[in-house]
Amino acid sequence: MKLAPSIYTADFARLGEQVRAAEEAGADWMHLDVMDGALVPNITFGPAVCEAVRRSTLLPCEAHLMVQAPERFFQDYKAAGMQRITVHVEACPHLYSTIQALRKLDLQVGVALNPLTPLNAVEDALPLVDLVLIMSVEPGFGGQAYIPSATQRLQRMREMLNAVNPNAELEVDGGVNVHTIRDVRDAGASIAVVGSAVYSPNHSVAEGIAALRRALRGEL
């Protein structure tokens, strides 16, 4: 299972150091939570911070755009060096064009669903995407509790993907920690976004990632 630390709960006063710590600890992707205060009730950062993170690591970076009308910003996040952009289906009434716009920029395409958005909202898009992101918290904040119904949604989405696009990644985001990571892996998630399980005042980044790996091996 790949781990994608979310920098949202990192110490922004030493962001480059925190990103390098995740890379050294064996993370697979960096997950950058862009929030606009409109689609979600919080504001985080934009392309400039994403570009700074990109400069701090050799890991591939994905921008999770929790923003209205995300197509306005695709060029900016491409220029910032993102390899994948994940948009929210709830913010994309013209999803076919949105996907085309990402393809034109040679960006990997992710589509995210909030915890109660019906899975069939993206059913016809599945053959066209590289990744589906199942939110296991309401987007907007780190450190929230995992919503248990996400596990079954992951299972169902994995089955849907296996039928039409078996190589697509299935990512889970929100409340993934040492207690929930085996469930989401067993439900079919191939990438876990991990925020407060990695970036926390209670342990180092290395300890956080090592604990997740131990949990995946059933050693916790």
Q: Name the residues annotated as catalytic.
A: 33, 173
Task: Answer yes or no whether residue 142 interacts with ligand DX5 by CB under 6 A.
Answer: yes
Q: Which of 144, 155, 165, 190 binds ligand DX5 (CB under 6 A)?
A: 144
- Backbone angles phi and psi of 101, in degrees to 5: -65, -40
Q: Which of 110, 175, 188, 208 binds ligand DX5 (CB under 6 A)?
A: 175
Interactions with ligand DX5, residue window 68-127 (CB under 6 A): none
Question: Could you give the strand order of the β-sheet that contains 30-35, starting from the edge strand earlier in sequence?
Answer: 2-5, 191-194, 169-173, 131-135, 108-113, 84-88, 61-66, 30-35
CB 99 within 8 A of CB 71: no
For the bound state, the minimum distance from the C-beta of residue 163 to ligand DX5, rounded and expressed in Å, comes to 27
Which of 3, 68, 65, 2 lies closest to 34 in space, CA to CA?
Answer: 65
The encoded tokens of residue 139 equal 């987007």
Site string for ligand DX5, 26-45 (x = CB under 6 A): -----x-x------------
State the Cα torsion 120-124-128-131 to the nearest 10°: 10
Known binding-site residue numbers for substrate:
6, 64, 140-143, 173-175, 195-196
Site residues for ligand DX5 per CB under 6 A: 6, 8-9, 31, 33, 64, 66, 137, 139-140, 142-144, 173-176, 193-197
